Amino acid sequence: MDLRFIDLFAGIGGIRKGLEIAAIEAGYNPVCVFTSEIKTHALKVLKQNYPNEEIVGDITKVDAATISDFDILCAGFPCQAFSVAGNRLGFADIRGNLFFDVERILIEKKPKGFILENVDGLLNHDNGRTFKIIMEHLKAIGYRVNFRVLNSKYFGVPQERKRVYIVGSFKEEVDLNNFPIVERNLYDILEKGKPTIKSKFIDLLLLKYDISKLYGKSIKDKRGGKNNIHSWDIDLKGETTEEEKELLNLILVKRRMKKWSYLYGIDWMDGMPLTKEMIITFYNNPNLDKLLEGLTKKGYLVYEYPKKKVVINNIIKREYDTTKEKGYNIVTGNLSFEINKILDPSSVSPTLVATDMQKLAVIDGDGLRKLSLREGLRLFGYPEYYQFDVSEKDGFDLLGNTVVVPVIKAVCDRLIKSLF
């Protein structure tokens, strides 16, 4: 028996793949009757894996009545409008409005059920009003709707990734409780003996730290903590004294205090520049002028104006307030480092996002290397046979926005059982 479905905002096909695996295990023949995706590199991957299918572009221009009848609608509607990584504008962002294209297709075609996936930030966006609207609209069509936030690390994928899964059925509410727990760590998916990175940055890192002590370390100048390595810890921009390191570490922490915003007369932001007078309140050193000048010249500090909050086209931004006194701030730019986190193979990876995936590193032998695209696919539970012939840059961008296949499969197991 055929199980007919459509795949909206298909990405590289993760929701589809999870549904297909679940359908086959349940004894059905999965048949995709309609696919929609607009991103060029995602289309390339879809064509590699489903070469004989026609893929439609802009879903907003598709007449729902022209879509063939189907049993299940799949949609990972764009999450950037609701995510912490985005501006969280929700329905004020055109990408947030794409949910209503899902709704109009459900109204027109009335399939037996649906599965939707999004960031868990959708639940509390606009104090919960956005999610309430979505649920009300889905229920108004006649569906019995259920949702659950699920973490991929409990579904056999070594990645900490919480997402909300919304399912609907005309027949009965789908049970999303008590999934079997399957846990794995990064050892299970990492390859060995691949080429390692050769660079000044990596040389300095390995010179200063025993490689066995790097597991789980972050490399960025935005935060402190015992698991964070800073550029001055490895003298990346020039040699630093213990006195200079102490000052940098203090500024790194103290610049986050809200009291500086009151002194400046400006809205607080996390990481404000500090004037010399502010610094003296927590670091009174007779050599302060010399230390500040030297660290600025080396590039560890920047002498800048604080930033004020401005609203442009309903988007909150920051711009320099030249009416205020300049201060010293940490030069952050963690994305300029070749890597910003070294994964611990005995644990799971953090939530993978498009902007960070190219900066993740693993220890391989006596060196460091970046994740391979195949390892990236494994971190989202794609089968080994899945084709992914794209550049590293495009591949990690696509992976950072895809879904976790085993979680989709587990949810679809329950959905299919409720529908047939």
Evaluate whether residue 192 is within a structural domain.
Answer: no
* Full 3-state SS string of 56-71: ECCHHHCCHHHCCCCC
Query: Is residue 177 domain-shared with residue 37, that is, in the same domain?
Result: yes
**Could you tell me whether strands 2-8 and 228-229 are parallel, antiparallel, or unpaired per DSSP bridges?**
unpaired
Residue 85 has pLDDT above 90, yes or no: no
Q: Domains in the chain: how many in total?
A: 2
Query: Is residue 104 domain-shared with residue 228, that is, in the same domain?
Result: no
pLDDT, position 353: 86
Q: Annotated catalytic residue: which of 32, 74, 79, 412?
A: 79
Query: Is residue 142 domain-shared with residue 38, that is, in the same domain?
Result: yes
If we measure between CA atoms, which residue out of 29, 31, 51, 48 comes closest to residue 373? 48
Q: What percent of the residues of the chain are helix, what percent strand, and what percent coil, each to the nearest 5?
A: 35, 20, 45
Q: What one-letter code names the amino acid at 114?
A: F
pLDDT, position 333: 61
Residue 86 has pLDDT above 80, yes or no: no
Evaluate whether residue 207 is within a structural domain.
Answer: no
Domain stops at, among 299, 332, 365:
332
Distance CA 77, CA 103 (A): 11
Q: pLDDT, tens digit, for every residue of 14-40?
A: 999 999 999 999 999 999 999 999 999
**pTM for this model (two decimals):** 0.85
Longest Cα–Cα distance of the chain, Å, equals: 82
**Sign, CA torsion 334/335/336/339:** positive
Q: What is the average pLDDT across 154-177?
A: 96
Query: Is residue 30 domain-shared with residue 163, that is, in the same domain?
Result: yes
If we measure between CA atoms, which residue out of 40, 48, 20 comes closest to residue 32? 20
Q: At what angle do helices 392-399 and 40-49 cross, to 10 degrees?
A: 90
Q: What one-letter code names the amino acid at 193?
A: G
Query: Is residue 157 domain-shared with residue 240, that is, in the same domain?
Result: no
pLDDT, position 83: 41
Residue 397: give the domain boundaries.
2-184+384-419
Q: What one-letter code names the amino acid at 322?
A: T
Highest mean pLDDT among 72-86, 134-148, 308-322, 323-337: 134-148
Residue 221 has phi, psi (to 5 degrees) of -105, 20
Catalytic: 79? yes
Domain stops at, among 332, 354, 375:
332
Q: What is the average pLDDT across 230-251?
A: 94
Q: How far is CA 113 from the centre of its chain?
A: 28
Query: Is residue 278 domain-shared with residue 132, that is, in the same domain?
Result: no
User: Quick one: residue 157, left, alpha or beta (phi over 0 = left, psi -120 to 50 = alpha)?
Assistant: beta
Express as a percent the part of the chain with pLDDT over 70: 95
Distance CA 151, CA 34 (A): 29
pLDDT, position 23: 98
pLDDT, position 336: 62
Evaluate whether residue 392 is within a structural domain.
Answer: yes
Q: Which residue has the tokens 């995706």?
A: 37
If we measure between CA atoms, which residue out of 191, 159, 156 comes closest to residue 375? 191
The 3-state DSSP class for residue 254 equals helix
Spell out the residues 6+ positions from residue 163 whose beta carbon is closer than 8 angstroms to its own: 117, 118, 119, 120, 149, 150, 152, 403, 404, 407
Residue 125 has pLDDT above 60, yes or no: yes
Query: Is residue 27 domain-shared with residue 163, that is, in the same domain?
Result: yes
pLDDT, position 225: 75
**Could you tell me whether strands 113-119 and 162-169 are parallel, antiparallel, or unpaired per DSSP bridges?**
antiparallel
Highest mean pLDDT among 197-206, 269-278, 332-341, 399-408: 399-408
Q: pLDDT, tens digit, for every residue of 321-356?
A: 899 999 999 997 644 688 888 999 999 999 988 877
pLDDT, position 139: 96
Query: Is residue 268 domain-shared with residue 398, that is, in the same domain?
Result: no
Query: Is residue 165 domain-shared with residue 27, that is, in the same domain?
Result: yes
Evaluate whether residue 199 is within a structural domain.
Answer: no
Query: Is residue 27 domain-shared with residue 170, that is, in the same domain?
Result: yes
Domain stops at, among 332, 357, 376:
332
Q: At what angle do helices 99-109 and 129-140 cross, to 10 degrees?
A: 10
Q: pLDDT, tens digit, for every residue of 373-391?
A: 999 999 999 999 999 999 9
Evaluate whether residue 55 is within a structural domain.
Answer: yes
Query: Is residue 289 domain-shared with residue 150, that is, in the same domain?
Result: no
CATH number at residue 90: 3.40.50.150
Query: Is residue 111 domain-shared with residue 180, that is, in the same domain?
Result: yes
State in Å, rounded, how far the first CA of the chain is from the last one.
11
pLDDT, position 94: 41
